[in-house]
Structure 1
Amino acid sequence: MFGHGLKLMKIDLLEDLYEDINTQELPLSKKGIRRCIRAIARSRDYLEQGVLGLNGMISTVSPVGR
């Protein structure tokens, strides 16, 4: 659905989008933006990308206390 360039969203992305809508006076509703972001975040491709990123982090982190 999203191709091969899917990356995880940054923290506070929604607030940044709201700010852009207000400053640039874009004809978009906050409710519509929120629904789009939620649809992407709940998609199978996006969730799989999060799991792949987590697995990469786990393999490079050393256990605490050893």
Structure 2
Amino acid sequence: MFSVTIVVAYLMKKHRMSVESALSLVRSKRPQVGPNEGFMSQLENFEKSLQGKTHIAVIMLLYVICLICVRGS
């Protein structure tokens, strides 16, 4: 689910949460949600970038988001 991925990424960035913590918080409100394997991979890369391990992950996450937005319109 794309919108869940955006919410989780926002929580990770804004509130300095891990991907597991952010996803757990979202699931506490909407238990049925869950990003697919590809989005989970991007969130894990994003988490590493937030920890300062890689900057390319942020660029890749934004690229994937842009591709999805373009395809959806």
The two structures share one fold, judged by TM-score above 0.5: no
Higher helix share: 2
User: Which has the greater radius of gyration?
Assistant: 1
Higher relative contact order (Cα pairs below 8 Å, separated by 6+ residues): 1
TM-score normalised to the size of structure 2? 0.30
TM-score normalised to the size of structure 1? 0.32
